[in-house]
Structures are given as C-alpha cells and as structure tokens.
Amino acid sequence: QVRLVESGGGLVQAGDSLRLSCAASGRTASSYTMGWFRQAPGKEREFVAVQDRYGVHTNYADSVKGRFAISRDNAKNTVYLQMNSLKPSDTAVYFCAASAGLALSMRVPDFTSWGQGTQVTVSS
C-alpha cells in the first residue's frame, strides 16, 4: 500500500497559479496510475486529472483542460498538479490518489489509496 501526502494548497486570487505536490511513500509512485480529485463543500468528489505510471499519457476534466497539468518526478517519488489561471470555481479540497490499474480511470472507486487532501481557495 502506498501512502500519499499532499501539500501546496492555499488562498490565492483569481488568475493566480499554484502547484500541488503529492509525496508517496511505502511503495513507489511509478507503480501506480496517479490521479488528482477535488471536493467542494456540499458536492461529490470529482475527477481533475490522471497520469499513467509511465508519465506518458494524461487525461483531464473539461473544466481544467488547458489550465492544469499533472506531472511526476519518479526520482522524488512525487506527483504534481500545476494549476494556472485559477478561478473561484476551482475552490475545493484537492486529493491525490493512486490506482493499481493500468487504465486512465476517472472514477473514484478505481483509486484505492488517498491522501488527506489540501485546501485550495480562490478569491474573486
């Protein structure tokens, strides 16, 4: 089982950028398909981005396509989410998650390991 710890959240203004980090331990992140999800108050957890274990293929939610980018540094056992042109609608708790599957899943149930989340708040 891999343990995941997110960091990098904070309070920013609309149009700003943030980079979230997800540090993996226990097993290497390169063994997993890695995803980012987010959950706003009163809403269900939703898919944001996913990357295969080789760091080659990615997929994004339509709402963040062109603004967010997922990447990984296997030497540091860390996955990142670069978020640009942030909007108030991006306000949520962001979670890093790992899936042992090979598919670029966007489904919460397919991810078996989760971090504790990091809060991102975007003011208008």
Instruction: Return mean pLDDT, the chain.
Output: 95
pLDDT at residue 48, as a whole number: 98
* pLDDT band at 31; cut points 50, 70, 90: confident
Is there a contact between 111 and 100 (Cβ–Cβ < 8 Å)? no
* pLDDT band at 28; cut points 50, 70, 90: confident
- Calculate mean pLDDT across residues 18-37: 92
* pLDDT band at 51; cut points 50, 70, 90: very high
By DSSP bridging, strand 118-123 and strand 10-13 are parallel
Q: Locate 28 and state its tokens.
A: 């290497």
Q: Locate 49 and state its tokens.
A: 């981005």
